[in-house]
Amino acid sequence: MEKVTLLGTAGAVTDRQRDNVSLVFSAQEAGEASVFHVLIECGGSAAHKLATLGIPYETLTDLIITHTHLDHLYGLPGLVFSIRYKDLDRTAALRIYCPEDAEQIIGALLDFFELREDLFFPIEIYGIPSQEDSLVLENAQVRITSTPVNHAPKIPTHAIKIFSKTSGKSVVYSSDTTYSEQLIRFAQGVDLLFHECAGLNGQPVPDVHSTALQVGKVAQQSNVKQLVLLHLDTALNNDPARILDEVHQHFTGHAVVGSDFDDYVL
């Protein structure tokens, strides 16, 4: 079974129902006991949320940070700290994948708290080139790639695609972006597109984020099978019905507004 679980569905502004955006992809082959997990983004209380889902966070080996805006990575020191004391016998590396420009920032964040000094396991940070269809990681179960999208000019930001070698299905997460031709190419025909949505057309949505109208255009032009909207600006618009009405001005497929802890089975 393969699924994506949303750990958070808000942008920078959280509320009682929505925490900062984060999602976990889980894959388990039939007859196998072990489950492969990859965490994408690391907002607050990541360890607690994974534990709530029954995922042993101390076994996590792969984590992707799409860019260095604070709401996407501030929980990283806390997650590493929890892993450190949850499993004192751990030797397996924790691999962190991020844009090349983010390697130094993430290393400095960990080193500020001296988290790499006394660990029993290594933390390996891998930079992802800002090129379309760059390989992030590959194993027997998945091939994960990335492509740059249109977010903050000085902060490289990558969308992420997970292709399952077992089912042949694929998932794309847009990260933070405004309307992006690169994303449209990257997401062509995928089974599931998770796309950010900061508000409605006509609202004061920053030009580095997407309106629901833009998301509908991207989903339609990408010919995706299902669309899930997340990274909502809860201060600006948190009304799923209005968001979906605007999305469907362009997108004729199935669309939902995601909620924290929703599961999407592939």
Q: Which residue has the higher pLDDT, 237 or 101?
A: 101
Residue 242: per-residue pLDDT: 95
Q: Which residue has the higher pLDDT, 28 or 107?
A: 107
Residue 177: CB partners within 8 Å, gap ≥ 6? 149, 150, 151, 157, 159, 183, 196, 208, 209, 210
pTM over 0.85, yes/no: yes
Q: Work out the percent of the chain whose per-residue pLDDT is above 90.
A: 92
Residue 235: per-residue pLDDT: 84
Residue 89: per-residue pLDDT: 95
Q: Which of 37-46, 220-229, 235-244 shows the lowest per-residue confidence on average (mean pLDDT)?
A: 235-244
CATH number of 2-265, picked from 3.40.50.10300, 1.10.10.10, 3.60.15.10, 3.40.50.140: 3.60.15.10
Whole-number mean pLDDT of the chain?
A: 96
Kindly list the domain boundaries of the chain, sorted by start residue: 2-265
CA distance 79 to 205: 31
Question: Long-range contacts of range 87-94, CB-CB < 8 Å, 24 or more positions apart?
Answer: 87/58, 87/59, 88/120, 89/120, 90/58, 90/120, 90/121, 91/120, 91/121, 92/59, 92/61, 92/121, 93/61, 93/121, 93/122, 93/123, 93/124, 94/60, 94/61, 94/63, 94/121, 94/122, 94/123, 94/124
CA distance 184 to 145: 15
pLDDT band at 30 (very low <50, low <70, confident <90, very high): low
Residue 237: per-residue pLDDT: 75
Checking if the pLDDT of 32 tops 90, the result is: no
Residue 122: per-residue pLDDT: 97
Residue 118: per-residue pLDDT: 82
Is the sign of the CA dihedral 97, 164, 158, 175 positive or negative? negative
Phi, psi of 166, rounded to the nearest 5 degrees? -80, -50
Angle value at C-alpha 87, between 35 and 114, nearest 5 degrees: 115
Residue 59: per-residue pLDDT: 96
